[in-house]
Amino acid sequence: MSMNEVKSAKRVLEILQFFAASQAPASLSQISAALGFPKSSCLALLDTLEAEGYAYQASGRYYLTRRWLNEAELVAAHDQVAARIRPVLEQLRAQLQETLILAQRSGDRVMYLDVAEADRTVRFAAHVGQTKPLHASASGRALLGLMPLPERTRLVDRLRLEAYTGTTVIDRASLLEVIEQGNRRGWHANLAEHQADTLSVAAPLVLHGMAFSLVVGAPMGRSGERVDEIGQALAAASRSLAQSIEPPRTTPSTKE
């Protein structure tokens, strides 16, 4: 695959994100200006999307069709991992009365794959596709903790350890130690390190060789004293999930 093809794929995703954010039809000039694309390249991409049924024009303005939604729903409906984990997220949400999240690493960030928000007026708000920094999130630390130490150290060395609040860990050696502490405990915590009024707690989860984290996000004032309870609940759910989806192999006995 050429670099031009990679660039085109990225630009198609940026067009999708543009319409998701604007939620309104837009002209070629508006789209190319907003995204910083040359008009010729932008027109070629929009023409392709229109020809394939993913976009349409009305009065010289473009918008996306429902084909995106229809195909995304089909993909989501057959996501075997998410389908198995979703009931656990909902069960934990009912048990803990806070927002539950399934997360996975995406490069140098954490990405939310599924979210079950708490049914409370004041809650940790999150959405699928949202990303968080690895170093300043419980989900990121849980995922870093699953990596072999040499690989983890190399990744931490290249991270930009931005301070989001006064308590964010931005020293590399300290971050590696915090991750080790979480590994020994079985769950990881972020107490007001990304946002001053929120916390997150996460347990690592490995399914079919893929690394995930089960995460609770909550207001600090309401759940600050429940961190240990939340962490233990997540760790237990992670162990149960791993055993139910990938039962341990047993060595068949042999008769003498």
- Phi first, then psi, for residue 202 (nearest 5°) are -145, 145
Q: Does the pLDDT at position 233 exceed 50?
A: yes
Task: Kindly state the helix (H) or strand (E) to which residue 223 belongs, with its residue range.
Answer: helix 220-223
Helix axes 149-158, 172-185, angle to 10 degrees: 140
Q: Which two tokens stand for residue 215?
A: 């995460």
Q: What is the average pLDDT score of the chain?
A: 90
Q: Are 183 and 176 in contact (CB under 8 A)?
A: no
Q: Does the pLDDT at position 251 exceed 60?
A: no
Q: Which two tokens stand for residue 160?
A: 């930009």
Query: Residue 1 — very low, low, confident or very high, per pLDDT cuts 50/70/90?
Result: very low
In one-letter notation, the amino acid at residue 17 is Q
- Tell me what pLDDT residue 235 has: 96
Q: How many CB atoms lie within 10 A of CB 20?
A: 11
Q: Where are the beta strands (DSSP E) in 77-156?
A: 99-106, 109-116, 131-133
- Tell me what pLDDT residue 242 has: 87
| Total residue length of the chain | 256
Q: What CATH number was assigned to the domain covering residues 3-70? A: 1.10.10.10
* Domain edges within the chain: 3-70, 79-245
Cα distances (angstroms) measured from residue 68 to each of 31, 52, 55, 100, 150: 18, 11, 9, 26, 41
Per the model's pLDDT, the better-predicted residue between 115 and 1 turns out to be 115
Mean pLDDT in residue range 181-210: 94
| Residue range 64-103, pLDDT digits in tens | 999 998 887 777 666 666 677 889 999 999 999 999 999 9
- Tell me what pLDDT residue 134 has: 95
When mean pLDDT is compared across 116-120, 169-173, 206-210, the lowest value belongs to 206-210
Number of H helices, E strands in the chain: 10, 8
Which single residue is written with the structure tokens 């928000």? 117
Q: How many CB atoms lie within 10 A of CB 112?
A: 20
Query: Residue 256 — very low, low, confident or very high, per pLDDT cuts 50/70/90?
Result: very low
Q: Are 62 and 55 in contact (CB under 8 A)?
A: yes
Query: Residue 144 — very low, low, confident or very high, per pLDDT cuts 50/70/90?
Result: very high
Per the model's pLDDT, the better-predicted residue between 252 and 37 turns out to be 37
| Residue range 39-67, pLDDT digits in tens | 999 999 999 999 999 999 999 999 999 99
Q: Give 212: exposed, middle or buried? Use CB within 10 Å, 0-12, 13-18, 19+.
A: buried
Decide yes or no: CATH 3.30.450.40 for domain 79-245.
yes
Mean pLDDT in residue range 243-247: 71
- Tell me what pLDDT residue 254 has: 46
